[in-house]
Amino acid sequence: MDLKETCISSEPIYEGSFIRISRDQIRLSNGKESQRMVIRHPGAACVLAVTDNDEVVLVRQWRYAADQAVLELPAGKLDVAGEDPAECALRELAEETNYTADSVKLLHTFYTAVGFCDEKMYLYQADGVRVGSTLSNDEDEITETVLLSREEVKAALKNDEIKDAKTLVGLQYWLMNS
């Protein structure tokens, strides 16, 4: 079955520092026309970093859109076109926490909100995780580093304390594959 939708025209609605929003007129696979609102995003990377004590490195930060502090894997958007997501993951770990890593390995890629946004998330696992970052947050970010054991993660999941999709994906991977 052919499901492809084809763009007929695109009207820019908003262009910001890193996202663009457009209203697209499309042709459905059945020949009919419809509209789609689309958010274009440069992509992002997140990192599953586990210490030698088998604790996952998370950050708690205020998320204005959710109107609450959220517990998350360290993550951030790709800063420049063509930026290597692995470098982004290492940078975000070092900026948002006091941890660094020797390297990262790609675990999975996924879309964060495929119904209206093309943001592609790259989930990495860090190797050689250790304290020692000399980087700091961007000036508009305030984060708190949180270390959780497997049992603490399971309890947080059971108590609905982790609501961020990329973090749910990464933590489920960690719990299932270790």
Q: Tell me the C-alpha distance between 26 and 91, whole Å.
A: 38
Exposure string for 33-42, b = 16+ CB within 10 A, e = fewer = eeeeebeebb
Active site residues: 139
What secondary structure letter does DSSP report for 31?
S
The answer to whether residues 95 and 137 touch, using CB atoms and an 8 Å cutoff, is yes
131: closest CA among 147, 110, 120? Answer: 147
Q: Tell me the C-alpha distance between 54 and 56, whole Å.
A: 7
E strand or H helix that includes residue 25: strand 20-27
The answer to whether residues 151 and 104 touch, using CB atoms and an 8 Å cutoff, is no
